Structure formats: C-alpha cells, structure tokens
Amino acid sequence: MKSSLKYKRILLKLSGEALMGDKGFGIDSATVDSIAKEVKKVVGMGAEIAIVIGGGNIFRGASLKGMERASADYMGMLATVINALALQNSLEKNNVPTRVQSAIEMRELAESYIRRKAIRHLEKGRIVIFAAGTGNPYFTTDTAAALRAMEIGAEVILKATKVDGVYSSDPIKDPRAKKYDAISYIDVLKKGLGVMDSTSISLCRDNNLPIVVFNIKGKNNIKKVAQGKKIGTIVGGDDGQRTKKKSH
C-alpha cells in the first residue's frame, strides 16, 4: 500500500562492498540478487527509488599508493559502473525496469546523467542507478549520493551498511560501543563518526535531508525504513530535535 510509506522518493546509497557478500573481492551474484529482491518489495509499494553505488569491492581510488589521485579516482568511478550494470541486471531479472545513468559519458553502456530525465524515469516507476560518482575526482560516492538526492528531490538518504546503525566507535572492534537511535549532523561531524564524509554530511545539513543508516543484510530492512519503522540510526536536525526523538 502506498499509504504505508513514510518516504515516497528515496536515494539508496550502497557501498561496493555490499555487493561482494562474504567474498573478499568482486561481485557475489547471490548477494546482488538478494538486494534486488529487497528493492523490488519497496518499489511494489509505490516508492520511487534511485541508487548510488560505490566501487570499493573492485577498486578504491584513494587507497592506491604511487598513482596520481585524479587518475586513481577515475578508475574508481569506472568500478562503480561495473557494479551499476551488475545491479541493473539483477533488478531486471526480477522484472524491475531499471536505467543506469553515468556521470561520465559512455553511450553504449549507460545514459548520460540528466536530472530531468532521471526524475521522469522515477515518475514512471523505474529504478535509476547513478554511476561514476559525481564525474569528478576528489569527490566520494557519498557526496554523489547527497548531491543526486538534492537534485531529484529525494525525501531521505538510506545509507546501507554492514552494521545496524551509527555507533560511538567501531562495534566490531569495541564491544563497549554505544549505538545512537538518532544523532544530529553536527555531532556526526564533531565526533568524526564516519557515517558519510564531511562534505556529504554538510550538504545534507544545509538542505535538511535526513539520513537513515541501517544494516543491508536484515530481511525487509529497506522496506521497514521506507515505512518509517525504527531501524538503524537517523541523522538529522539539531541537538534539540535529536533529544526529542530519543525521548519517545
């Protein structure tokens, strides 16, 4: 039912690592198919979904030593295109019409990014996958997610991760790490929590766009977040709003 959705137009941010499942590298087809099925459930409820995908499972530009940063970043952008095509294939195998739009022109593989065309696809019930980041070196796919979310008028960014929210420190390394149900943009920046990079957090703060950080592995989690259920951590608002949310 469309009425059960809290968010109608959603920007889903997927890391490249999310596509490799338990593998150490590359793309795990079963994992990609599982993500496609989860996305399909939300589309079936009437949501309009755009996806920004990273490339860290194939190549992480910023981590390559000895290579010029701009060249390495462009290689990373190409990795996101590979991931976008893999996810498009899985979505369409599940009968979800999907378009890939690339910030770097490659006409044989994907449409060039055009904001109005992307919005039109969403209005027609198609998934739009934004590949190649912003098309510029020195900008992460997190920043691309924030930028595209603003451009298409998304109501929320869903940041899919391997953990079930934002913690005070790495919960895998620190058993005393505290999970936040809600936290302000400012606190994320001040505490250096690494939810998304500072550029993307600042962009969301300036435009008052909420971010929900949740575990991609949980069954129906994308659907639950779209319905406004308390899954993961919501980033948004000032300290007063955050306190109010926590008191409920």
Q: What is the CATH number of the domain that holds 109?
A: 3.40.1160.10
Residue 70 token pair: 């701009």
**Residue 226 structural domain:** 2-247
Q: Residue 30, Cβ neighbours under 10 Å: how many? A: 9
> Which regions of the chain are under pLDDT 50?
1-2, 239-248
The pLDDT score that the predictor gives to residue 244 is 37
Region for residue 66 given its phi and psi (left: phi exceeds 0; alpha: psi -120 to 50; beta: otherwise): left
Round to whole Å and give the CA distance between 159 and 157: 6
Of 149, 171, 168, 154, which Cα lies nearest the Cα of 215?
171
Beta-carbon contacts of 116 under 8 Å, excluding residues fewer than 6 positions away, are: none
Round to whole Å and give the CA distance between 111 and 224: 31
Of 62, 60, 19, 12, which Cα lies nearest the Cα of 39?
12
The pLDDT score that the predictor gives to residue 245 is 38
pLDDT tens-digit series, residues 38-91:
999 999 999 999 999 999 999 876 566 788 989 999 999 999 999 999 999 999
Q: What is the DSSP letter of 177?
A: P
The pLDDT score that the predictor gives to residue 64 is 64
The pLDDT score that the predictor gives to residue 42 is 97
The pLDDT score that the predictor gives to residue 63 is 60
Contact criterion met (CB below 8 Å) for 128 and 118: yes
Round to whole Å and give the CA distance between 96 and 121: 12
Of 208, 232, 219, 100, which Cα lies nearest the Cα of 158?
232
Instruction: State the total domains in the chain.
Output: 1
Residue 144 token pair: 């691309």
Round to whole Å and give the CA distance between 232 and 62: 28
Which residue in the block uniquely carries the two structure tokens 């913690």?
Answer: 167
